Amino acid sequence: MNHPAGGLRSWVRDWPATLAPVCPTCRLALVEVPAASGDATGAAGPAVICPGCRQAMRIGPDGRHLDFSAFLAASETAAVRKVGLAYRFYALAYAPLALLNMLTVWRAGLGTLVRHYARALGGGEGNHGGSCPCPVLAGTPAPVSDTGPILDVAIGDGALTALTLRVGRIDPEIVGLDISADMLGRARRTLGGNPRFRSVLADARRLPFAGGTFRRVCCYGGLHVMAHPEEALAAMAAVLAPGGRFFASILLRPGGRFPAHLARRYVELGFLSSTFDEEEILELVRQAGLQPLEVVHNGRMLLLEAVRG
């Protein structure tokens, strides 16, 4: 296992110290040790390990990619394996297939999605298009500062992110996380030239960051493909600072006989794990400790902004 000089420090260089990753299992801060200590795989150079379970983690050669694949097997279920296998094939033509399904099955507009995503990435507080403001609960914390890295869970192949950055003319610091090595590899190729982008291969249910690390967390197109969305929502809420914002897009159960049949077929094949109705997903969000602030109906896609109480 090869690591760049500087190991973990190279990954968090010029970033807040609180961004340093932790073990997804033990929740302990990861540490660097010489490979000769016996805690690594024998390769020269430093190893990054958990001092509790002694599990080693890989760092990409450029120091901007963290690979927690060694931790995935412990939390893998049959449903997770099914989705992972489906996305190995789906990744080959993800962008055009996802766009086709969004436009035809869920009748959602790309422009509305991009505007909402741009706002999530710090692109201003302008009108979302088709928004439906929800009453804010009494006692909601004031918004936190929007400076600092943004955690983008289920970033996929990075195509939507690249489009949104270009159209929105924004340049945030993004930590892109995905459980699919195929998808994340494509995202790294798409966004790898951006020095403000870093990637993490990990499970959304066991995020390798301490509680309250991020001021903004995004999950566009992810919850409906996660085998255990309620666990992922709880994990994403946990890494949000109090008053931090959560943004997401979720595919709702489509209307019409053919779209509904197609959605059920996608679940059978593993391209989707769930189809929600609106109240069902909003209740899961509330159970995770997030207060919905605003929803946008974009066809049969729900665009959501919520706050951590």
**Interval 155-180: pLDDT, tens:** 999 999 999 999 999 999 999 999 98
| 3 vs 22, residue with greater confidence | 22
Measured CA to CA, the distance from residue 140 to residue 192 in angstroms comes to 37
Domain ranges, ordered by start, for the chain = 7-63, 76-308
Give the tokens for residue 226: 């996660």
For the sheet containing 240-251, what is the strand order?
A: 31-34, 46-49, 56-59, 65-67, 197-201, 174-178, 150-153, 214-220, 240-251, 301-308, 290-298, 131-133
Q: Give the model's confidence band at 282: pLDDT under 50 very low, under 70 low, under 90 confident, else very high.
A: very high
Question: Can you give 146-171 as a three-state secondary structure string?
Answer: CCCCEEEECCCCCHHHHHHHHHHCCC
pLDDT confidence of residue 193: 85
Q: Give the model's confidence band at 43: pLDDT under 50 very low, under 70 low, under 90 confident, else very high.
A: very low
The model's pTM: 0.84
Question: CA torsion sign, 166 to 168 to 172 to 174?
Answer: negative
Q: Give the model's confidence band at 7: pLDDT under 50 very low, under 70 low, under 90 confident, else very high.
A: low
Nearest residue to 194 (alpha-carbon basis) of 221, 170, 220, 168: 170
Exposed/middle/buried for residue 215 (C-beta within 10 Å: 0-12, 13-18, 19+): buried
| pLDDT value at 46 more than 60 | no
Q: Give the model's confidence band at 237: pLDDT under 50 very low, under 70 low, under 90 confident, else very high.
A: very high
| pLDDT value at 139 more than 50 | no
Return the minimum-mean-pLDDT range out of 40-44, 76-80, 120-124, 249-253.
40-44
pLDDT confidence of residue 216: 97
| 5 vs 254, residue with greater confidence | 254
Tell me which fold the domain 76-308 belongs to: Rossmann fold (3.40.50)
Q: What is the 8-class DSSP label of residue 231? A: H
Does residue 35 contact residue 44 with C-beta atoms inside 8 Å? yes
Report the percentage of the chain scoring pLDDT > 90. 47
Does residue 246 contact residue 308 with C-beta atoms inside 8 Å? yes
